[in-house]
Structure 1
């Protein structure tokens, strides 16, 4: 092989090896360092607020960091208190209305069993008695097989639910511990924020600092845009649900719209976790006009969000709508529901590398220039 091509291949292999090593190290160390990554991100976010307090209070930076963190915690607990209060209010409303609705469901189930199931059973019994013995045995075997399959599936489903509950309660203490560690780490990072940044500037080469600073600016802009996009999408969901419920004259329209918007933020749930059980309940209680109306409202919310999400994301984080759509789809396919966040984040990171010239520098390094 020609000597220049051998050197290019060697440098390309070296770059790929470094990328693979960094990716592997990040993947396997994430479970250990994620509280500190969260703390670093939070420290960067609150740093402008801390600086604002420093300019106006005259207190030491540590006290200002405590003030800002306390404000964030108070706001978080206030929101949590509001959510719990709304849940208690909704639970009280359900406690008052549920017995009446359950009685309706019981009456409907009894009528359905008497008018629909029993005639079918009698027809099947008459048909079954007219069959030959071999045919009866075949039908009995198929019913036993179907019953076994249903029982096995039900047992597996219940086992998964029970395991999920146990995993949730086992995960809860770890989450609380990680949150406390993140808050403490945020305080120490934010308190000595400029000492850390000065140390990094001394330790790293100037060219690497320029590239890192440019990537940081791009990512900060993209993160701000992403948060704004998510808040916009949640606001759209809340407004659509609120308008629809007010037109349908549904009780507690503001509360339902507020919680639907919050749940719409969660990857595994979404607005469907509110609307689908609600529609099924309305169908079972023979409230078909309202069930159809709620179904239409859910369809409108779903379509508007699906159509608006790529456009809003592309506008907020600087991606082309097609790029945002590809990032969402690829992230969903590779990482599941969390890929709807990871996909655009990786796309933005790659775009930041391109815009800041890092990819060009790597290519020039591989070519030996």
Structure 2
């Protein structure tokens, strides 16, 4: 492999990293524009309207539907969260009452024991209660801190959405020109190869998005089934909340189910607490087992390569590496297939 090819590969990786971080709103707008391109073409063909009109109609329709769904889902989650916090004092009172009753029962038990044994058991109990209290405070502080950080990012989120929507309209208006301008960067002999690489990358990225939708639906079905079996309140909203926190970095379903299970144990409902822990394990195991296979089938690489690329990407650059890792493998395979990237190890 020549130094020139190595330099191009390094620059390409740096460009991809920047695209998936700073340039993510533009990347998302480009993917959405590619996804909507067929619908725009159908409107232009059957309604005989110009590209500007068709693109404006499709973008507006897509934006309206997306914002509507976001509002409905967000409103449901926020309303259920507000209802939960309204009932939080009741939950705390129940927990305090249970702990007080447990303390009274423990005191009666101590009085029936020899003094040395009673003192030793009391010391163990105090240590256990202190450890449980410290862990609960740590969990509450961590969750509160996370949501506080999320609240601080709301202005940035609005800027992201504004940039994304403007970029979406502009890219839908001029996607063919953007495509031609990109191809003009290469000589005529290289263009068919670049077209093949771009086609593979397009299919893989759209497949990746579809894979995430499938995984989200599977998580929702598993969570909803488990919550219905456990007989909890608001199973539809809670299952949706679990899907949302599973998508968010760092949190995951454990951020909801673990504190909930601890609360159940503290308030004297161990059956529900055990059920929530089992549900957490089922969701985590099923998603970890299915994720490499689903993503691998969707993007066109085998499950082992997907798993390795996601793990290496995550270890190197964090959460964004979970997406960028498979993308690098896809581009590598496409470049080898069209003959742009050819090297073999020769021994002796």
Root mean square deviation, CA, Å: 3.6
Q: State the shift of 1:38 in Å.
A: 3.2
Output aligned runs, 1:1-369, within 5 Å. Answer: 12-24=2-14, 27=17, 33-91=23-81, 93-94=83-84, 97-111=87-101, 168=150, 171-360=153-342, 363=343
SS at 2:250's partner residue? coil
**C-alpha separation between the residues in 1 aligned to 2:150 and 2:230?**
37
The change in CA–CA distance for 1:18 and 1:92 in structure 2 (over 3 A counts) is: closer
Q: Structure 1 residues 274, 36: CA separation in 2 closer, same or farther (over 3 Å shift)? A: same
Shift of the alpha carbon at 1:104? 1.0
Deviations 1:20-60 (A, max 9, x none): 34444665687664443333333222211211221233332
Change (3 A) 1:300 1:205: same
CA offset digits 1:111-165 (Å, max 9, x no partner)? 4566769x8xx98xx99xxxxxxxxxxxxxxxxxxxxxx9xxx99x979976x67
Q: Equivalents in 2 of 1:158, 1:95: separation in Å?
A: 16
**What's the TM-score once normalised by structure 2's chain length?**
0.79
Distance in 2, Cα, partners of 1:159 & 1:92: 19
Number of equivalenced pairs: 328
Unaligned runs of 5+ in 2: 121-133
Note closer, same or farther for the CA distance 1:160–1:255 as it changes in structure 2 (3 Å cut).
closer
Corresponding residue of 1:131: none
Change (3 A) 1:244 1:333: same
Equivalent-residue separation in structure 2 for 1:115 and 1:209 (angstroms): 80
Q: Do the aligned partners of 2:208 and 2:295 also contact (CA within 8 Å) in 1?
A: yes
Q: Distance in 1 between matches of 2:74 and 2:148?
A: 23
Cα distance, 1:359 vs structure 2: 0.8
